[in-house]
Amino acid sequence: MPELPEVETTLRGIRPHLEGRRIERLLIREARLRLPIPPDTPEQVAGQTIGALSRRGKYLLIGLERGTLIAHLGMSGSLRIVAAESQPKRHDHLDLILDDRRCLRFHDPRRFGLFLWTPEPPGIVRVQHPLLRGLGPEPLEDGFDGDHLYDLSRTRRVAVKSFVMDGSVVVGVGNIYASESLFLAGIHPKRPCNRIGLARYRRLAAVIRAVLGSSIEQGGTTLRDFVNEDGQPGYFAQSLRVYGRTGEPCRVCGEPVRQTLIGQRSSFYCAHCQR
């Protein structure tokens, strides 16, 4: 599943090709995504000029003269810039055709993504739209720190990994980044969140910022082929410490990395380094 750095990488890849362009039309091949695309969407967006692109959590916001397009990649989606006349592939569900004869093409084999238009501008959408208004702070912006985590955790008893993956606590800390951040902070993923002190939460928040920030920067430096329909998205190349390394030696102490289930998600940790 695309996580926050991948979504940010996508944003950076498509932004220069969309901002300032006029939408000629929206071609929908398959409207049955996670939320069905309303049939009047093409007429709502046709002829509009695209303004600024932004991100809220894993949602991409495409600002228009009137309203906002909200896109989400779901579990398997991707967005690419291709020639408008290029032959669509299977699971290419829609084209946002631009005035330079290129298009933003949405590919989603599992159809868990979404592509919706709303009449509100991006600033209103970020705080009031039903899909976004319950989201917690962005991990790389003001409003997220160890004090925030500590304060919210006092009345909860869930495992700390589930706690930091809760989008109402902080957005964008997916399974990979939760596992990696907890390892670097030395916190066992099953430890109840209300049994972690302020100092350790401050350390964890700093690590989350560093891990996500580094992954986004790596994504930016390896970005490729957002204008090539045969290319792969420019996701970051990372050296994972624990995620997906069950049985392999911990990079710090040499003990085998362990795997467990937390909230029905595979979780990876070092029993020696994480307490």
Give pLDDT, residue 240: 87
Q: Does the pLDDT value for residue 18 go beyond 70?
A: yes
Res. 231 pLDDT band, cuts 50 70 90: very low
Cα–Cα dist 237/222, whole Å: 8
- Stretch 223-231: mean pLDDT: 47
- Mean pLDDT of all residues in the chain? 92
What is the number of other CB atoms lying within 10 angstroms of the CB of residue 155? 8
Q: Is 251 annotated as a binding residue?
A: no
Q: Which residue has the higher pLDDT, 149 or 218?
A: 149
- Stretch 226-238: mean pLDDT: 48
Biggest CA–CA distance in the chain, Å, is 60
> Which domains are delineated in the chain?
4-128 (3.20.190.10), 146-269 (1.10.8.50)
Q: What is the token pair recorded at 215?
A: 């992954």
Contact present, 251 and 243 (Cβ < 8 Å): no
Instruction: Of 53, 55, 56, 133, give the one whose Cα is nearest residue 96.
Output: 53
Active-site amino acid positions: 2-3, 58, 265
Q: Does the pLDDT value for residue 229 go beyond 90?
A: no
- Stretch 129-137: mean pLDDT: 96
- Stretch 175-200: mean pLDDT: 97
Q: Is 101 annotated as a binding residue?
A: no
Give pLDDT, residue 223: 42
Q: Is 110 annotated as a binding residue?
A: yes
- Stretch 57-61: mean pLDDT: 96
Q: Does the pLDDT value for residue 53 go beyond 50?
A: yes
Instruction: Of 120, 103, 271, 274, give the one whose Cα is nearest residue 182.
Output: 274
Cα–Cα dist 184/41, whole Å: 45
* pLDDT above 70 as % of the chain: 92
Q: Does the pLDDT value for residue 247 go beyond 70?
A: yes
